Amino acid sequence: MEQLKKYDACPVCEATQFETHLEVKDWMITKEVFTIQKCTSCGFHFTNPVPSEDTIGTYYKSEEYVSHSSTNKGLVNKLYNIVRNVTLAKKVSLIQSYAKGNSILDIGSGTGHFLNACKQNDLKVQGLEPDIDARTFAKDNFGLDLEPLDTLQSIASNSKDVITMWHVLEHVYHLKRDIIQITRVLKEDGTLFIAVPNMNSYDATLYKEYWAAYDVPRHLYHFQENTIKELFSQFDMVCVDVLPMKFDSYYVSMLSEKYKGGNIVKAFMNGFLSNMKSATNGYSSQIYVFKKK
């Protein structure tokens, strides 16, 4: 089994010249060091090399991987759960404000909290999730039948009003192949919502290699507003809105301070500052709203 996957060509523009941006530790789980490279041609940043698709699973096994759990232990997890409930409602109303119809596909549904909120608001939901434990959780807790990721290939063309990927695109191995499938499945007047961390944000530039949203090697790609727009423009998708995720700056700053051995007061200050500086840097995480051209 191949342990590492090395990119010889930029995942966005296919150019072959890279420079090193940062050496970053897998703070959350293995403490292994990974390199983030920058394509000198288009400016896209990506982890290189990354664990192979066959071996990445070991980097996800952690009780601290809160997006896949619902534990109430610890301050960070408690806060995460409170914030999740607030943001769920916001996400649903955001979607309803753009959607022309009610069929939604969520890719990377995790434990199904978001799709459950959609279902409760009378949306017709379908969810894909690679992790079997997460799928079982969604079934047991919400009665949701999440399906494996490769189901994407068999979903009917032009069939979804909305497709959502909440902090998922930075994890997918077959970036362009999946985007082709997404644009195929999305209706002509459909809306695609992509939430990813923003490596130009104030908290990212402040915490550097401690920035929790680099999250190597789980995050294969490290997006900025211009690079994600460039990527999707290759598939005739145009970004119609960029929206903030204001809680993420606090959450990411808290984790970053933890990795750095800092303190929670600083984390709150820096989260606040990051949101204040969004006019120049963008927010810590952003939602990109895409439509077909």
Q: Does residue number 39 form part of the binding site for Zn ion (CB under 5 A)?
A: yes
- CA 58 vs CA 52, 83, 180, 260, 275: distances in Å: 11, 28, 28, 24, 34
Comparison of 11 and 190: residue with beta carbon closer to Zn ion = 11
Among 29, 30, 35, 41, binds Zn ion (CB under 5 A): 41
End-to-end CA distance of the chain: 41
CB of 124 to Zn ion, least distance (A): 38
In the complex, minimum distance from the CB of residue 42 to Zn ion, in angstroms, rounded to a whole number: 3
CB of 293 to Zn ion, least distance (A): 21
Shortest Å distance, C-beta 223 to Zn ion = 13
Residue with tokens 């916001």: 90
Q: How many C-alpha atoms does 3 have within 13 Å on its Cβ side?
A: 0
| Piece of 9-17, 61-69, 169-177, 233-241 that binds Zn ion (CB under 5 A) | 9-17
Where does the chain show beta strands of DSSP type E? 4-5, 18-25, 33-39, 45-47, 50-51, 103-107, 124-128, 160-166, 186-197, 221-222, 237-244, 285-292
| Binding segment toward Zn ion, per CB under 5 A, in 38-46, 55-63, 98-106, 216-224 | 38-46
Instruction: Examine residue 230 and tell whether it contacts Zn ion (CB under 5 A).
Output: no
By C-beta, is 15 or 276 nearer to Zn ion? 15
Binding site for Zn ion (CB under 5 A): 10, 12-13, 15, 39, 41-42, 44
